[in-house]
Structure 1
Amino acid sequence: MSELLASYVAGAWYTATDEGRVVADASTGETVARVSSSGFDARAMVEHARRVGGPALRRLTFPERAALLKTLAAQLSERKDAYYELSYATGATKRDSAVDIDGGIGTTFAFAGIGSRELPEGKLLVDGDLVPMGKQGTFAGRHVYTPLPGVVLQINAFNFPVWGMLEKLAPALLAGMPSIVKPATQTAYLTAAVVRDIIDAGVLPEGSLQMLCGDAGALLAELGGGDVIAFTGSANTAATLRGHDAVVRRAARFNAETDSLNCCILGPDAAAGGDEFDLFVKEVAREMTVKAGQKCTAIRRALVPRPAVDAVVDALQARLGRVVVGNPRSDSVTMGALVSVGQRDEVRDAVSALAQAGQVVSGDALKVEPVDADPQRGAFIAPVLLRCDDASRAEPHTVEAFGPVSTVMPYSDAAEAVDIAARGSGSLVGSVVSHDMDFVREVVTGAAPHHGRVLVLDRDCAGESTGHGTPMPQLVHGGPGRAGGGEELGGVRAVKHFMQRTALQGSPAALEALVAAG
């Protein structure tokens, strides 16, 4: 297909009048779609959410909103084969698409369960116990959460066009806030297909979900207090949005989840051929190749005890050597393409910068022979492993190659491992692979303030572990510093991001009556 993608604006489908930006199939270079938002009415879109979608959602109780999510997830499950087929154009293999499509649907189901099990029967969410504030017991206080009165503008990254939308949409709907989805242009056609199915199904109240394919700058001018901007993408774009008047002057809430230089640390107890050693090698290689390394949680820095560096490099070379790069529609392919030729070129430049601090020990960023594809037309790159023997060099801790690229670096002891991990200036996730609890304790205690999530992986949990790179709906996702300083997911915590906490004061009887009525 090569049509101009329509946006869903104020209850109607809208198509821009210009030609739009061409979006190509990541593997073939053929045109998939065109994208433009030229001429749309930003004010009408925001007002429709505030005046139609918001009130409709707020009339529902938490269990009723949870039921909507469950129905929505079930209907998307019935349509997912079509999404898988479309996802090939993004460069994703079937395994990659499962992370995005099934992951997004599963997250929606998870929040439906959270809403039905963990939230109250009414519309008011109580925070904490009654706080006596007078000696006679006639005056007290209590905190409650209510839905924000505005709209959520979610600005999403290209790498997860389904999960990235649904993991924001589900808790917002559960909280009672309408959303405007702005998908990344490179993969907007997949998000658009899902949104069209949601709208056509009529599951959600009108105004609770809208979509804009194209530039969203005009929407920002309409946002302020009571609204939320939920962003996933690059640190540079996050900085621009954070400085927008909508945030700085009008106090819209802003949450950012950005790319980060995540690390995985191998413990000194892990000998070559042992359980933890093999788990480490498998985890690093998997994070390099799933979604062709285009994950904000991917392992960019592999930290290894100095005596084990050679063995780790040899093992990773062997595993990466079995990766088959090519058109993801081919059954033999195990790693597909990057999202675009432009993205491939950015990764090549980043590899060149990283190589200034060490050497490439596996793969060639400039040479690949993809299966069933033209290397000149498709956005292909081989997995690239680098070795940097001097962990004090700045490049591995400042340059991110957003693709199938990782750098192996040595450390001497737990304290140095923590120091190297912290040089990433804030990460979404770090992991430590070890069965030595003294080492694990020192690393986790030191590294936790620099990470949004820490995985301890060993032989005891490997069978059920969800892995280094997988955010879970029950646990927070985000991180300090370079990772954006934001937080999303985390069960009920995610719902509260879209609500206002208010301190109520009055007689205990009045407060009890208010809570009971809520």
Structure 2
Amino acid sequence: MKTINPATGESITEYPEMDFDEIDSIIAKANEAQSEWKAKNFDERATYLRSMVEILRNEKEELAELMANEMGKPLQQGIGEAEKCAWVCEYYADNAGKFLAKDVIETDASKSYVTFNPLGVVLAIMPWNFPFWQLFRFAAPTLMAGNGAILKHSENTTGCALKIEKIIHDAGIPKDLFRSIVRDKTGMKEVIQHPGIAAVTLTGSTGAGKAVAAQAGETLKKTVLELGGSDPYLILEDADILKAAETCVTSRLINSGQSCIAAKRFIVMEQVYDEFVERLKSLMKAKKVGDPFEEDTDVGPQARKDLRDELHKQVQNSVAKGAKLVLGGEIPEGNGAYYPVTVLENVQPGMPAYEEELFGPVAAIIKVKSEQEAIKVANDTNYGLGAAIFSKDVKRAEQIAATKLEAGCCFVNKFVKSDPRLPFGGIKESGYGRELGLYGIREFVNVKTVYVK
């Protein structure tokens, strides 16, 4: 299990893969620890999460450097990710008891209510793009609900996985309650189907989600899947074009374009099309692609060369089918998995830029003639994670966001982002289930009816 610095192409560290016997022992011990952990009250569990908050904030620079080395995240973005992890731990420490309190319901019974009891040990299969945030947004509510957790991280962020384990243990969480396992993704079926695993969550590609859902389904295990996205951003004719373009560029280039909820398809009304494209192109062109350790870097390398090369094929194939390349689109010389900020116009159905998720700093622009066409194009996708709409008529935009866009998260005059206070997740091939907020902590619990006569 090798980690490679995507900025240089140099090998960082190799880790021995765990065999199944070792993993079997880890799962057994996690279940023993969970049987004791679930007996603790919310205030006791919250004490440990608040210790995590302190560690995450104190070590944020170190964590940012680790992310930069393993997957190329620019340093300031890595620091922000660590701070967000602290926020989600703090949020659930403060609110889990309220979210999982007994829910009394009046019936013909003398007493009837709903309780929310932990399921057991939950397996988390996590991606490389937000290696700390993806895990802590799962771990904070899952641990506060009384569950244990096993983390299987991406192979290229194994160092992050082991650091996460250390942070959680240093906070005082029982060592067997949370463990990271080092295992290739091809050897996960027997882990998923292990009788000591009560449920599974995965953040990753749609293909990976389908495989995990099928394997978990064979043993009737609950799953939560947060998968890919091709988020549409609708620019209506009455939008503030400068602000819209600035927001769209920020969203498109977050994490060097490697975000499931980054802006992917820009659907622009013809009345403002030329102005928007010019603004977007100018703003994209001004962004610096470079070393993630340099403070003025906006876009670091892609996480792996194979991912960069696949992105380039999608761009090339889109151009071959008639898309117009107006910026970028050429792999730079030298080491590292770098890809330039890229803008494609005249994007049409049948092109990868229209049909597929472009997981990198590539903007696909689509011209439409009406609000109805904009909504139709936005929903013309297999994905349904996020969407955004820009208009000075906030009431109009809100109505479109609330009732007409097919996505789990719809934002008005702002880019799509996750927030510990709000449920996060998608529909269609972007997955199912929710993380964060009240709804997220209730995913991995037994919603139990109690009726007393």
> Quick check: 1:173 aligned with 2:134?
no
Q: Could you tell me how far apart the structure 2 residues matched to 1:361 and 1:431 are?
A: 24
> Quick check: 1:488 aligned with 2:435?
yes
Contact 1:105–1:163 under 8 Å retained in 2: no
Q: Could you tell me how far apart the structure 1 residues matched to 2:363 and 2:401 are?
A: 22
Q: 1:394: Cα distance to partner?
A: 5.4
Q: 1:202: Cα distance to partner?
A: 5.1
- From 362, 375, 380, the equivalent of 1:405 is 362
Match of 2:426 in 1: 479
Match of 1:4 in 2: none
Match of 1:103 in 2: 84
Contact 1:309–1:408 under 8 Å retained in 2: no
Q: 1:161: Cα distance to partner?
A: 0.8
Amino acid at match of 1:487: R
1:450-507: CA deviations, max 9, x gaps? 11111111xxxxxxxxx52420011111100121123111x22221111101111113
> Quick check: 1:453 aligned with 2:409?
yes
Kindly name which structure, 1 or 2, has the bigger radius of gyration based on alpha carbons: 1
1:60-86: CA deviations, max 9, x gaps? 112221222112111222122211222
- From 334, 338, 341, the equivalent of 1:383 is 341
TM-score by length of structure 1 reads 0.82
Bigger mean CA offset, 248-257 vs 37-46: 37-46
Q: Could you tell me how far apart the structure 1 residues matched to 2:398 and 2:440 are?
A: 28
1:234-287: CA deviations, max 9, x gaps? 00011111111xx223211111101110011112112xxxxx212210122112
Q: 1:177: Cα distance to partner?
A: 0.2
Amino acid at match of 1:126: K
Amino acid at match of 2:179: Q
Match of 2:417 in 1: 470
1:280-328: CA deviations, max 9, x gaps? 1012211222211000101110111012221111111111111111111
- From 431, 434, 445, the equivalent of 1:499 is 445
Q: Could you tell me how far apart the structure 1 residues matched to 2:208 and 2:91 are?
A: 30
1:398-448: CA deviations, max 9, x gaps? 212210012111122222111111112332111111121453144224434
> Quick check: 1:59 aligned with 2:16?
no
How many residues align structurally?
447
Match of 1:444 in 2: 401
Matches within 5 A, 1:110-125: 110-115=91-96, 118-119=98-99, 125=101
Match of 1:349 in 2: 313
Amino acid at match of 2:105: D
Contact 2:48–2:171 under 8 Å retained in 1: no
> Quick check: 1:227 aligned with 2:168?
no
Amino acid at match of 1:55: S
Amino acid at match of 1:173: L
Contact 1:262–1:300 under 8 Å retained in 2: yes
Q: 1:196: Cα distance to partner?
A: 2.0
Matches within 5 A, 1:277-292: 277-292=241-256
SS of corresponding position for 2:102: strand
Closer/same/farther in 2, CA of residues 395 and 87 from structure 1, 3 Å limit: closer
- From 254, 257, 260, the equivalent of 2:223 is 254
Contact 2:315–2:352 under 8 Å retained in 1: no
Amino acid at match of 2:227: T
Q: Could you tell me how far apart the structure 1 residues matched to 2:443 and 2:395 are?
A: 36
SS of corresponding position for 1:316: helix
Match of 2:290 in 1: 326
Contact 1:24–1:33 under 8 Å retained in 2: yes
SS of corresponding position for 2:315: helix
Contact 2:268–2:366 under 8 Å retained in 1: yes
Closer/same/farther in 2, CA of residues 442 and 119 from structure 1, 3 Å limit: closer
- From 303, 328, 335, the equivalent of 2:267 is 303
4+ runs of 1 displaced by more than 4 Å? none
SS of corresponding position for 1:302: strand
> Quick check: 1:264 aligned with 2:245?
no
SS of corresponding position for 2:36: helix
Q: Could you tell me how far apart the structure 1 residues matched to 2:128 and 2:287 are?
A: 23
SS of corresponding position for 2:105: strand
Match of 1:462 in 2: none
Q: Could you tell me how far apart the structure 2 residues matched to 1:427 and 1:22 are?
A: 33
Q: Could you tell me how far apart the structure 2 residues matched to 1:447 and 1:223 are?
A: 42
Amino acid at match of 2:181: L
Match of 1:189 in 2: 159
Closer/same/farther in 2, CA of residues 223 and 237 from structure 1, 3 Å limit: farther
SS of corresponding position for 1:360: strand
Amino acid at match of 2:161: T
SS of corresponding position for 1:131: coil
Closer/same/farther in 2, CA of residues 397 and 317 from structure 1, 3 Å limit: closer
Q: 1:206: Cα distance to partner?
A: 3.4
Q: 1:99: Cα distance to partner?
A: 3.8
Contact 2:52–2:168 under 8 Å retained in 1: yes
Match of 1:237 in 2: 208
Match of 1:432 in 2: 389
Q: Could you tell me how far apart the structure 1 residues matched to 2:330 and 2:373 are?
A: 30
> Quick check: 1:74 aligned with 2:54?
yes
SS of corresponding position for 2:107: strand
Closer/same/farther in 2, CA of residues 414 and 146 from structure 1, 3 Å limit: same
> Quick check: 1:142 aligned with 2:142?
no
1:74-101: CA deviations, max 9, x gaps? 1222122211222221211123213422
Amino acid at match of 1:386: L
**What percentage of aligned pairs have identical amino acids?**
20
SS of corresponding position for 1:435: coil
Unpaired runs of 5+ residues, structure 1, are 1-20, 134-138, 271-275, 369-374, 458-466, 508-518
SS of corresponding position for 1:297: coil
Match of 1:13 in 2: none
Contact 2:315–2:353 under 8 Å retained in 1: no
Q: 1:128: Cα distance to partner?
A: 4.4
Q: 1:34: Cα distance to partner?
A: 1.6
Closer/same/farther in 2, CA of residues 424 and 95 from structure 1, 3 Å limit: farther
> Quick check: 1:206 aligned with 2:206?
no
Q: Could you tell me how far apart the structure 2 residues matched to 1:387 and 1:173 are?
A: 46
Contact 2:234–2:374 under 8 Å retained in 1: yes
Match of 2:107 in 1: 131
Q: Could you tell me how far apart the structure 2 residues matched to 1:492 and 1:176 are?
A: 15
Amino acid at match of 1:257: E
Unpaired runs of 5+ residues, structure 2, are none
